[in-house]
Amino acid sequence: MTVARFLSYPLSPSTPSYPGTPGVTFDARSRIAAGDEANWIVFTANNHAGTHVDGPWHFDPNGRRISELAAEELVFDAVRLIDLPKQPSELITVDDLLPHAEALRDADLLLLRTGFGPTRWRDPEAYRARGPGFHSSAGWYLSRQTSVRAVAMDFISATCQAHIAEGQAFHRIALGALTPGREILLIEDARLDDDLEQQDVGMVVVGLLILEDQDGGPATIIALRTADRR
């Protein structure tokens, strides 16, 4: 039997939202318990709510929309899980990544676990407003020195609220605005639980909700164990 696990969170009204963006709402329009024939809802969410993918157009006016991504760009089979413990509002720099240069050189997907993920349940306000983020130096390193095509992180955004300019610069570098021809998808608010191990991520498939002519979208991410690859 194939062993798989989700690396994404369910979308719900309790999903933490990035500061300045609206939250998720569920509106139950039909319920069997109320005498209706079926259960269904209307939900509202911005396209960067919950586990989601930032595509190139998010920070690059000339970048591709997510509907322009090919299916094979969302399948990864050289996945590297790296632990980089970080405190709230602390940045991830090139110096943090250099010790992992060998592992990253041929990787196509970096799963970066800072240990901030459990804050999502313990303190949602801290999770949405005081998470770690990336320094621009990390973006230049990943773009120039690795084959990484996507980075997934266990915090709400690559942009740390305490260091907005650095986070925006990282986005522009990773998504191709400052690196023409080189794009790194950013998977924010990913679920990288403490018990997740390298052998659990032999292959990762990013099930992106493809919104026409948009810069990003919610994603359901599935990881397959190494031993179950065929």
Residue 191 domain flag: yes
Residue 114 domain flag: yes
Evaluate whether 219 touches 208 at the Cβ level (below 8 Å).
Answer: yes
Residue 199 domain flag: yes
Q: Rounded distance, CA 114 to CA 122, Å?
A: 16
Q: What is the pLDDT of residue 230?
A: 45
Q: Rounded distance, CA 124 to CA 79, Å?
A: 28
Q: Rounded distance, CA 164 to CA 80, Å?
A: 27
Evaluate whether 216 touches 51 at the Cβ level (below 8 Å).
Answer: no
- Identify the H or E element spanning 170: helix 164-174
pLDDT in tens, 29-60: 999 999 999 999 999 999 999 999 999 999 99
Q: Rounded distance, CA 23 to CA 17, Å?
A: 6
Residue 22: both structure tokens together: 């609206």
Residue 77's SS3 state is coil
Q: Is the pLDDT of residue 191 over 70?
A: yes
The closest of 93, 96, 91 to 131, measured between CA atoms, is 91
Residue 42 domain flag: no
Residue 218 domain flag: yes
Identify the band that residue 227 occupies on the pLDDT scale cut at 50, 70 and 90. low
pTM for the structure as a whole: 0.96
Residue 158 domain flag: yes
What CATH number is associated with residue 8? 3.50.30.50
pLDDT in tens, 120-154: 999 999 999 999 999 999 999 999 999 999 999 99
Other CB atoms closer than 10 Å to residue 68's CB: what's the count? 13
Q: Is the pLDDT of residue 228 over 80?
A: no
pLDDT in tens, 13-23: 999 999 999 99
Residue 132 domain flag: yes
Residue 194 domain flag: yes
Q: How many domains does the chain have?
A: 1
Query: Which range of residues forms the domain containing residue 142?
Result: 4-12+47-228
